[in-house]
A and B are shown apart, each in its own frame.
Chain A
Amino acid sequence: MLNINCPYCGDRSQKEFAYGGDGTVKRPELNKEVSDEKWNEFVYLRKSPRGKHIELWHHIAGCRQWFKVQRDTVTHEIFKTAKMNEEIK
């Protein structure tokens, strides 16, 4: 079970969180033309990298904030967590 450092609440057990998928996906802007390819990529296509991955987690049994987690998908090591308006490099 992972130990996740919520940027708002601190270290908490994975039990309190829900996984939210790839944290680097950007939704196309509203009211703008989007090509089929771009839209398809946004809705369906996700990378499944081996190694470092920036992903979203939602503290559903806590502060209910979404935030970013940089995790190694092989070792599950968590390098960094950040608020949505913060960058992870």
Chain B
Amino acid sequence: MSQSYRIKNEGLINRNKEIIFKFNGKKYTGYEGDTLASALLANGVHLVGRSFKYHRPRGFFGAGVDEPNAKLQIQLNGHSEPNVNATEFELVEGVEASSQNCWPSVEFDIGAINNFLNRFFPAGFYYKTFMWPKSFWYKIYEPFIRKAAGLGIASVEKDKERYEHKYEYCDLLVTGSGPAGLSSAYSAAKNGAKVILAEDKPRFGGSLLTDDVTIDNLSGKDWADKIINELKEMPNVIVKNRSQVFGYYDHNMMVMFERTGDHLNDKPKYTPRQRLWYVRAKEVLLSTGSIERPIVFGNNDTPGVFLSAAAKEYIKVYGVLVGKKPLIFTNNDSAYETALEFKKQGIEPIILDTREERSSELIDSAKNQNIQIKFCHAVIAANGYKKVRSAQIGKLNKEKTGFENIQTIECDCICVSGFWTPTVHLASQSGNKLKFNDDIDAFIPDKSKQNETSVGASNGTFTLKKTLEDGFKTGFEVSKNITNNNISTSTPNSNETKKSVHDKFWCSPLPDGKNYKRFVDFQNDVAVSDIEVALREGYRSIEHVKRYTTLGMATDQGRTSNLNGLQLVANVEKKIVPQVGHTTFRPPFTPITIGTIVGREIDMEYMPTRKTPMHTWHEKNNAVFVDAGAWKRPRYYKQGNESLFEASKREAKNVRDHVGICDVTTLGKIDIKGPDAAEFLNRVYTNAWLKLPIGKARYGVMLREDGIVMDDGTTTRISENHYHMTTTTAQAANVLSHLEYYLQIVWPELNVNVISTTEQWAGAALAGPKSRDVLAKLFPNLDVTNESLPFMGYTEGDLFGIKARIFRISFSGELAYEVNVESDYGLYMWEKIIEIGREFNIQPYGTEALSTLRIEMGHVAGPELDGRTIPYDVSLEGLLSKKKDFIGKRSLQKEAFNKNDRQKIVGLVPTDKKSSIPEGSHLVVDKNAKLPNPKLGHVSSSCWSVENNNPFSLAIVKDGKNMIGKKLFAVSPLKNTAIEVEIISSHYVDHEGKRVRS
């Protein structure tokens, strides 16, 4: 019983290595070198899944990327992966595969009732049926459809595998290692070009592995091996198998998916499972070959129906028979090769040829071997539910629109060939508008938009001789232009059987009274009748037909269905295919895993983490961190069982009562140097900068050209032509780009240079009434009195041997300083301050307390400078110079910015002095008003005022300056709160700003 369809002495598998695997719970054996599909077929297993919509039994149809049906759920190494293509998945020990889209089992699937109700599931069924009543959608229809549809089940476990990205550059990327790819890669490499040759299958050679041809007096396969071995030895060539080039992007950026580890049983520890290659190629050679297209006939989706080339590949590569009583159904010569391969194995095939009786090298050879051939015959329908048992065949009438006599013949598989479709997906992705070729009834590439050339079958060239000639020639010519070498390689002799002209027959007519389902697109269950319905309902554009019927969608991307679908639309519309046009091909050509796209950018590597030099200290002192861009900042330092609220209150109170220290390293710092630095600042900031003395800091606001506040911060004049600018943490990068823009583009005449020094300086803010005491002990040789180092003063000092910059600036509204040292000394500085500050009750404070302190003071920050506010709105209009021009000044004249009832920042206190007001709450007059309730403003920042011991918020309110003293409601539908608030000044603490100057 085991592998009863395996033949001896044929195939490229390793028969010395048996592999045990499971399918739907049952054990089977195969060989190393098998795919899951070939191993199952060797065991006579055909039924592998149920179709998407009708749950019809489905089997294998192709032998590679052409496979529309056999998508399996794979369990391996504790992972579960859905929608794995069984015809591409290489067999490995221990793999467990199972069918998808069926319940309770693939043999007995309840969903198959859809098949018998199929008259109720026409094209667009979901659009039509589930429209009404609307309320049913979320609760009933959608859950039902979700359960019934879909393919495999995505894992919810974390993927433990390793994936990698790789960047590569080359002169020529060759996609596919058939005769076209090998010859062009070889001749380009010989001419000195840096070549990458990519083959999606494990074995190189493409059609040479299965075709009965000779090149250079070697068999096709031997020649392929010889060329590959030579290429592998060349230092200017990278040869990759198991690598699918799936995307063609701008400027010849090619993206390739390499299966590095999937086929290995004992994968070395650091070998990734899969790898994504970004290849920038000067030239791309598309040698992607062609895919056989089916002829459409009744029940053509029954397991046991194969593409004829796939049946040949199973014999030649895997030593597997897809059946023992094959029926070959063709409109061209190439299926005769399949018949002859069966015959070689002692199997008696029957050939149905839709053409008139004729003679050709292949046909004669079949005749000579006594293979039964029925000309002018076609398969009407396959019989059998879970497997082909027999076929209804008929003699075609003259017009090929009906049958003259119908009979049933026994068979266990039907191998169908409707000629070949060039694989033009990558060419189309590159922007190449395709053209229709009447000789082959298919689209081929036209004029290149990028540096790409198609050679061989992908270009509609179906003879080996011409393919090799073109390949060697193109490889040489393309490389010549890049390398300037002139070493050409001559085309070797080749032998192949000549083929006669194919027939345009593509779909068997239905006999009178018969209503067989004839599938065009297997993966999406689109039958001839569905497309006819779509056209009858008025869909004309092929793109609309595609969307209405789902023809050519999903992982399959119409690889086998596309042209037959176009042919059908053309027939019904009485047009020809090029008039119908084709749908757009999009990347990826074949499905790739999400893991590969993500690569190593997971967890800690998802984005860089920026830590300040004092980070380890924060960790040791129970800091709870918050993300500020890529930075980790202490949000609060937890003591005991404190909550965030309790801790931030304690920390803020300690600043108001004693002294606190805060890590402000993350603030953006920009060094500005040059003789025109003052003039530059004067243009960038809204206030005056020309007279700032050396050793002084100034607060500044910068606008965008549209008048909106961009950022604020202090800038200090370190020396004559040297300034130190600080920005908010969030805007640091934007401000630098902004400054560079004006210096390089708008005012290149200014002699100024800017550079980011954010990471060069570690900063600690000392805030609170005792901060001067700490500073004095920290710098015993420095005069830190109010007279010598006043508010907005700057000095430099020696901090136990380290040079420190001392700024007397304050965000908390308290007497405060910022000390900066070079980053490497940050931790040293911090520990010194903590040590010295101990006697003054110093405590670290995090961003939460920092916010509390600034909100109480009415200092604006990100929530107020939200990209919608002008200086007036946030009460910074006092900083607008009337004497000079600056960026954005002209925009402030706008009418809307000067209205009397313009929004303005205010303070809010809940009337009950207890309820804290959610940030984002809307301010309204009547909390019970009918929606939409007119909004007067919004709450931007909220805190618990440690000074007044009640909640306090900042808000931006329409006509804010006249609203003081009024009462409104702060409603938050999200938090379900409506709090009565009184509007007060935004400066809740130290109105006159005495403390910072004390």
| Contact status B740-A76, CB under 8 Å | no
| Contact status A58-B250, CB under 8 Å | no
Residue-wise, chain B 676-700 has the 8 Å CB interface mask toward A (1 for contact) of: 0000000100000000000000000
Number of A-B contacts (CB under 8 A): 52
B-contacting residues, A43-64, CB 8 Å: 43-44, 56, 58, 60, 64
| Contact status B737-A84, CB under 8 Å | no
| Contact status B744-A43, CB under 8 Å | no
Q: A79: which B residues are within 8 A, CB to CB?
A: none
Cα A68 to Cα B791 in complex, Å, equals: 45
Q: B744: which A residues are within 8 A, CB to CB?
A: 65-66, 84
Residue-wise, chain A 12-23 has the 8 Å CB interface mask toward B (1 for contact) of: 010000101000
Least CB distance, B924 to chain A, in whole angstroms? 32
Known: A3-B280, A84-B748. A34 touches B741 (CB 8 A): no
Known: A58-B740, A66-B744. A76 touches B706 (CB 8 A): no
B891 on interface, CB distance cutoff 8 Å: yes
Partner of A58, one of B706, B737, B746: B737
Known: A58-B737, A76-B251. A84 touches B884 (CB 8 A): no
| Contact status A20-B683, CB under 8 Å | no
Partner of A20, one of B250, B252, B741, B748: B741
Known: A58-B740, A66-B740. A75 touches B449 (CB 8 A): yes
- Nearest residue (CB) in A for B682 is A30
| Contact status A76-B250, CB under 8 Å | yes
Cα A75 to Cα B451 in complex, Å, equals: 12
Partner of A3, one of B251, B449, B706, B733: B251
- Nearest residue (CB) in A for B251 is A3
Cα A85 to Cα B744 in complex, Å, equals: 9
Cα A2 to Cα B278 in complex, Å, equals: 12
| Contact status B741-A66, CB under 8 Å | yes
B-contacting residues, A1-32, CB 8 Å: 1-3, 13, 18, 20, 27-28, 30-31
Cα A43 to Cα B703 in complex, Å, equals: 13
Q: A39: which B residues are within 8 A, CB to CB?
A: 890-891
Cα A28 to Cα B891 in complex, Å, equals: 12
| Contact status B748-A2, CB under 8 Å | no
Known: A27-B746, A58-B737. A1 touches B890 (CB 8 A): no
| Contact status B745-A66, CB under 8 Å | yes
Cα A65 to Cα B706 in complex, Å, equals: 24
- Nearest residue (CB) in A for B743 is A66
Residue-wise, chain B 216-250 has the 8 Å CB interface mask toward A (1 for contact) of: 00000000000000000000000000000000011
Cα A46 to Cα B658 in complex, Å, equals: 55
Cα A23 to Cα B69 in complex, Å, equals: 52
Partner of B251, one of A1, A30, A34, A56: A1
Partner of B683, one of A30, A58, A65, A84: A30
B362 on interface, CB distance cutoff 8 Å: no
The A interface, classified by DSSP as helix, strand, loop or mixed, is loop
| Contact status B884-A31, CB under 8 Å | yes
Q: A1: which B residues are within 8 A, CB to CB?
A: 249-251, 253, 278
Least CB distance, B114 to chain A, in whole angstroms? 43
| Contact status A34-B890, CB under 8 Å | yes
Q: B746: which A residues are within 8 A, CB to CB?
A: 27
Q: A43: which B residues are within 8 A, CB to CB?
A: 705-706, 891
Cα A58 to Cα B737 in complex, Å, equals: 8
A-contacting residues, B425-453, CB 8 Å: 431, 449
B885 on interface, CB distance cutoff 8 Å: yes
Count contacts on B: residues with CB < 8 A to the other chain: 24
Q: A3: which B residues are within 8 A, CB to CB?
A: 250-253, 280
Q: A78: which B residues are within 8 A, CB to CB?
A: 251
Cα A34 to Cα B719 in complex, Å, equals: 36
Partner of B737, one of A13, A60, A75: A60
- Nearest residue (CB) in B for A3 is B251
Residue from A43, A56, A60 with most neighbouring chain B CB atoms (10 Å)? A43
| Contact status B737-A18, CB under 8 Å | yes
| Contact status A2-B683, CB under 8 Å | no
Cα A64 to Cα B670 in complex, Å, equals: 14
Q: B249: which A residues are within 8 A, CB to CB?
A: 1
| Contact status A56-B449, CB under 8 Å | no
Q: B431: which A residues are within 8 A, CB to CB?
A: 75
Cα A1 to Cα B706 in complex, Å, equals: 31
Cα A84 to Cα B746 in complex, Å, equals: 10
- Nearest residue (CB) in A for B704 is A43
Least CB distance, B266 to chain A, in whole angstroms? 36
Cα A3 to Cα B740 in complex, Å, equals: 23
Least CB distance, A20 to chain B, in whole angstroms? 7
Least CB distance, A79 to chain B, in whole angstroms? 13
Residue-wise, chain B 716-754 has the 8 Å CB interface mask toward A (1 for contact) of: 000000000000000001000100110011101000000
Q: B890: which A residues are within 8 A, CB to CB?
A: 28, 34, 39
Known: A30-B885, A34-B890. A2 touches B250 (CB 8 A): yes
Least CB distance, A77 to chain B, in whole angstroms? 8
Q: B706: which A residues are within 8 A, CB to CB?
A: 43-44
Q: A66: which B residues are within 8 A, CB to CB?
A: 740-741, 744-745
Q: B737: which A residues are within 8 A, CB to CB?
A: 18, 58, 60
Q: A58: which B residues are within 8 A, CB to CB?
A: 737, 740-741
Least CB distance, B731 to chain A, in whole angstroms? 15
- Nearest residue (CB) in A for B889 is A30
Cα A75 to Cα B431 in complex, Å, equals: 8
B-contacting residues, A31-45, CB 8 Å: 31, 34, 39, 42-44
Least CB distance, A22 to chain B, in whole angstroms? 12
| Contact status A64-B280, CB under 8 Å | no
- Nearest residue (CB) in B for A60 is B737
Q: B683: which A residues are within 8 A, CB to CB?
A: 30
Residue-wise, chain B 256-271 has the 8 Å CB interface mask toward A (1 for contact) of: 0000000000000000
Cα A53 to Cα B278 in complex, Å, equals: 27
Least CB distance, A35 to chain B, in whole angstroms? 10
Cα A39 to Cα B890 in complex, Å, equals: 8
Q: B250: which A residues are within 8 A, CB to CB?
A: 1-3, 76
Least CB distance, B252 to chain A, in whole angstroms? 8
Least CB distance, B687 to chain A, in whole angstroms? 16
Residue-wise, chain B 279-292 has the 8 Å CB interface mask toward A (1 for contact) of: 01000000000000
Cα A84 to Cα B705 in complex, Å, equals: 20
| Contact status A31-B745, CB under 8 Å | no
Q: A2: which B residues are within 8 A, CB to CB?
A: 250-251
Cα A85 to Cα B683 in complex, Å, equals: 22
Cα A76 to Cα B280 in complex, Å, equals: 15
Partner of A85, one of B251, B705, B733, B748: B748
- Nearest residue (CB) in A for B742 is A27
Q: A18: which B residues are within 8 A, CB to CB?
A: 737
Least CB distance, B756 to chain A, in whole angstroms? 9
Cα A3 to Cα B249 in complex, Å, equals: 11
Cα A13 to Cα B168 in complex, Å, equals: 12
Q: B885: which A residues are within 8 A, CB to CB?
A: 30-31
Please list the residues of chain A having a beta carbon within 8 angstroms of any beta carbon in chain B. Answer: 1-3, 13, 18, 20, 27-28, 30-31, 34, 39, 42-44, 56, 58, 60, 64-66, 75-76, 78, 84-85
Could you list 19 examples of A-B contacts with CB < 8 Å?
A: A3-B250, A3-B251, A3-B252, A3-B253, A18-B737, A20-B741, A27-B746, A30-B885, A31-B884, A34-B890, A39-B891, A43-B706, A58-B737, A64-B740, A65-B740, A66-B741, A75-B449, A76-B251, A78-B251
Sort A-B residue pairs by CB-CB distance and give the 5 closest, nearest first: A3-B251, A30-B885, A1-B253, A31-B885, A76-B250
Please list the residues of chain B having a beta carbon within 8 angstroms of any beta carbon in chain A. Answer: 249-253, 278, 280, 431, 449, 683, 705-706, 733, 737, 740-741, 744-746, 748, 884-885, 890-891
Contacts A1-B249, A30-B885 aside, 4 further interface pairs with beta carbons under 8 A come to: A28-B890, A39-B891, A42-B705, A56-B745
